[in-house]
Amino acid sequence: MSRARQDRVISLLLRDGEWITAAELADILGVTPRSIRSYVTALNARMPGGGVVESGPSGYRAGPGAAAAQHAATDSGTPRERVHRLCRALLASADGIDVYETAEDFHVSSATVEGDLGRVRTLLAGTGLVLERTAERATLRGSEMAQRRLLSTLVHEETDEGAFDLASVRRGLGESSIGAAAIGPFKADLVAGLGELGYFVNELGIGDVMLHIAITADRVAHGHPLDSTLEGSPSAAQQNVGALLDELCLRHLEVRLGAGDRRHLATLVLSRVVAPGSSESAADMRTRVEPDVDRAVRDVVARAAAAFLVDIDHEDFVTRLALHVQNLRLRAREQAWSRNPLTRSLKATYPMIFEVAVFIADGLQGLLGIPLLDDEIAYIAMHVGGRLERSRRTGGPLTATIVCPGYYELHELLRSSVDRSLGQVVDVVGVETRADPDWDAIDTDLVLATVDAPVGADRIVRIQPFLTDADIERVQAAAGRVRRSRRLARLQAELGRYFSPDAFVGRMDAAATPESVIRDLGARLVAQGVIDEGYVERTLEREQLSSTAFTDALAVPHALGMTATRTAIAVGVADPSIAWGEGRVQVVAMVAFSESDREAFQTVFEQLVEVFSERDSVQRIVRRGTTFPAFLDELVAVVDG
């Protein structure tokens, strides 16, 4: 039974916080409902007394022990646990392991160990490590850096979505590795020390660096230091950070670092978790950017701004992104990628921002010499999102009218309270003091009324004359509904234009692959004269950059260039779900955009992803949308709410 799938079940239940049926979980994981029930049983067995997953008529939801169960140890006899244990044994002994003695230690047959060694060979593919076999002995050969990368892989396989936790480190490195009592104070002192050196610390990336510090300390303590093989002398920054790390390793871990390990860890810190302090100007930062990096970033940012009509071509943004890319190039050379625990949520919540980041990552391939992983693209997306968030702040709040029958200065006090508590959400443009106003004549986005309106509407919010916390929450919720309604109304207006029955597949083959689906849907758009075969090939290339599965249910394959003769969408529905990237999807919407519809790109793209982020909506559309008219009817009904 797969621990990874069990952990995925916990992750989904914790993320949603609501009841999910076995069928819905099965669709997401690509298994049967019976398997889901087995996973739930195994999950509850992880913790004494259960309490990991609660069951009920509405399905399953996370119980009070769910978070702890994610990090709980499992039976060491599972295939993955044995493979990890084998890897640790091979890494610990330069002379290798005896297969028969290992089988006795693991309490399994020698044939089982032989099978596990085959799994180890698969795990080693592309790592630079080789598993050698001489009679009964198996030995791991490769550089110290490659061996440390393998340890990093073992730990990351124990974690969920790149998150760092000490229990996972202990499972990955072995129970004899350094403990939680040392890592916590080490991290706090490292952050403080970097701050004293004038750096801003990226907390999302520091967990990954702490993992490498743990690996380094463990390897050095067991007699496996890293030789200094880098050319040239370390920079002043590397020397300062290296000295800090050496002092902290000695204080907290009782390990003295050699020159190679100091430089290696200092490079990791400088390229992964620090950025210039807020007091440093863009001009000062630019002096530290290499000319070729500066040129490449400026070029791709300008092209992204023009292609997506986004306001990102600003000096401060370009310079900070260039510094990030310069560090990214260092990581790319060593294939030492930085994990991002927000990757999945960024992709599902901000698909447009992520798409701009993919465009930038694609444009930087020549500079970096290698395609980027989703975690690294997510960091670029965070830069893009930060810039766009600053530019979006100029957008105004929703307009509102207060209806408060006059009594002394009551309406004035209420308006003052609304401005103070909800000023970023609503802009009060009028106050009605009549008890019987002309409700139909009030045309603001929201109406905040202290009296009951004769007719109900989502935009009318009943509040108290003296604003309460509950009133504030109701107004904020109503504002969210109005904004969402407007966004989806724009999508609904475009549905008839972009969908057609000739580009619809009601049930895709369960064995379909992303490539086969893209070619099938693409052929339908080619037949309509919307795109050519080149667009299909570019869509496949875009898919290789980063999976277009933006939610647990929807993939939106497309090419980066807007070269279609008109904007059109070909749709395929899968029941059960089909594999797509590292996940599974039930709806594939291949979108072909034309240059003339660039402004529609954001509306269609983001709103489609938003609709298919709602599990109930997905199930309704998938179950009933077996024909094009039925699919369109269900999609419109979901958009209408």
Q: What DSSP string runs through 520-532?
A: HHHHHHHHTTS--
Q: What are the pLDDT digits (tens) for 312-367?
A: 988 888 988 998 888 888 777 766 677 788 888 889 888 999 999 999 999 998 88
209-237 average pLDDT score: 81
557-584 average pLDDT score: 91
Q: And the tokens for 39? A: 């996973």
**101 near 137, Cβ under 8 Å?**
no
Q: What are the pLDDT digits (tens) for 263-304?
A: 888 888 888 777 655 555 556 667 778 889 899 999 999 999
More confident residue, 221 or 302: 302
- Which CATH number is correct for 490-640, 2.40.50.140, 3.50.50.60, 3.40.930.10, 3.30.420.270? 3.40.930.10
169-175 average pLDDT score: 58
pLDDT band at 598 (very low <50, low <70, confident <90, very high): confident
More confident residue, 524 or 409: 524
Distance between start and end Cα atoms, the chain = 40
**598 near 562, Cβ under 8 Å?**
yes
Helix (H) or strand (E) holding 246: helix 236-248
What share of the chain in percent tops pLDDT 70?
A: 89
Residue 161 has pLDDT above 70, yes or no: no
Q: pTM for this one?
A: 0.74
Task: Report the alpha-carbon distance of residue 33 to residue 53 in Å, rounded.
Answer: 15
Which residue ranges make up each domain of the chain?
A: 3-68, 73-78+95-141, 171-276, 282-392, 398-467, 490-640
pLDDT at 185: 86
Q: And the tokens for 203? A: 């907390």
pLDDT at 67: 77
pLDDT at 199: 81
165-187 average pLDDT score: 64
Helix (H, G, I), strand (E, B) or coil at 132: strand
Q: And the tokens for 221? A: 């303590």
Residue 566 has pLDDT above 60, yes or no: yes
In the 3-class helix/strand/coil scheme, how is 88-127 assigned residue by residue?
HHHHHCCCCEEHHHHHHHHCCCHHHHHHHHHHHHHHCCCC
The string of DSSP letters for 594-630 reads EGGGHHHHHHHHHHHHHHTTSHHHHHHHHHH-SSHHH
Helix (H) or strand (E) holding 563: strand 563-580
The answer to whether domain 3-68 and domain 490-640 are alike in fold is no
Q: And the tokens for 448? A: 């905040």
Task: Report the alpha-carbon distance of residue 430 to residue 452 in Å, rounded.
Answer: 18
For residue 611, give Cα distances in angstroms to 181, 355, 574: 45, 18, 17
More confident residue, 26 or 535: 535
Q: Is 107 left (phi over 0), alpha (psi -120 to 50) or beta?
A: left
Q: And the tokens for 528? A: 């309509």
For residue 419, give Cα distances in angstroms to 384, 414, 424, 429: 31, 9, 8, 11
Task: Report the alpha-carbon distance of residue 265 to residue 281 in Å, rounded.
Answer: 27
Helix (H, G, I), strand (E, B) or coil at 274: strand
Q: And the tokens for 634? A: 């269900």
pLDDT at 286: 72
Cβ contacts of 416 within 8 Å, gap of 6 or more:
none
What share of the chain in percent tops pLDDT 90?
A: 30
Task: Report the alpha-carbon distance of residue 241 to residue 163 in Å, rounded.
Answer: 24
For residue 442, give Cα distances in angstroms to 315, 396, 446, 448, 452: 44, 19, 9, 11, 15
pLDDT band at 394 (very low <50, low <70, confident <90, very high): very low
Q: And the tokens for 315? A: 């000096």
Q: What are the pLDDT digits (tens) for 53-83?
A: 999 888 899 888 887 777 665 555 677 788 8
Residue 174 has pLDDT above 70, yes or no: no
Cβ contacts of 72 within 8 Å, gap of 6 or more:
46, 47, 167
Residue 468 has pLDDT above 90, yes or no: yes
Q: And the tokens for 637? A: 């009904």
- Of 132-136, 371-375, 382-386, 516-520, the range with the highest mean pLDDT is 516-520
pLDDT at 281: 59
pLDDT at 162: 47
576-599 average pLDDT score: 89
**Residues comprising the chain, all counted:** 641
Cβ contacts of 50 within 8 Å, gap of 6 or more:
44, 63, 65
Task: Report the alpha-carbon distance of residue 322 to residue 288 in Å, rounded.
Answer: 10
Residue 232 has pLDDT above 60, yes or no: yes
Helix (H, G, I), strand (E, B) or coil at 363: helix
Residue 1 has pLDDT above 50, yes or no: no
Omega before 576 within 30 of 0, i.e. cis: yes
Q: What are the pLDDT digits (tens) for 492-527?
A: 667 777 888 899 999 999 899 999 999 999 999 999
The number of angstroms, rounded, from the C-alpha of 132 to the middle of its chain's C-alpha atoms is: 38
Q: Measured at the alpha carbon of residue 226, what is the angle toward residues 221 and 229, in degrees to the nearest 5? A: 165
In whole numbers, what is the pLDDT of the chain averaged over residues?
A: 84
Task: Report the alpha-carbon distance of residue 8 to residue 15 in Å, rounded.
Answer: 10
Residue 256 has pLDDT above 70, yes or no: yes
Helix (H, G, I), strand (E, B) or coil at 572: strand
125-136 average pLDDT score: 88
Arch. (CATH architecture) of 282-392: Orthogonal Bundle (1.10)
Q: And the tokens for 514? A: 């992303």
116-133 average pLDDT score: 88
Helix (H) or strand (E) holding 584: strand 583-594
Burial class (CB in 10 A: 0-12, 13-18, 19+), 311: middle
pLDDT at 163: 52
Residue 49 has pLDDT above 80, yes or no: no
Q: Measured at the alpha carbon of residue 396, what is the angle toward residues 393 and 401, in degrees to the nearest 5? A: 145
Whether domain 3-68 has CATH 3.40.50.300: no
377-388 average pLDDT score: 90
pLDDT at 231: 64
For residue 496, give Cα distances in angstroms to 404, 492, 607: 43, 8, 15
164-190 average pLDDT score: 66
Task: Report the alpha-carbon distance of residue 561 to residue 83 in Å, rounded.
Answer: 44
For residue 519, give Cα distances in angstroms to 534, 550, 625: 11, 20, 22
Helices (H), 273-396: 282-286, 291-308, 315-334, 343-349, 351-363, 365-368, 374-392
Adjacency order of strands within the sheet including 563-580 = 499-505, 563-580, 583-594, 554-555
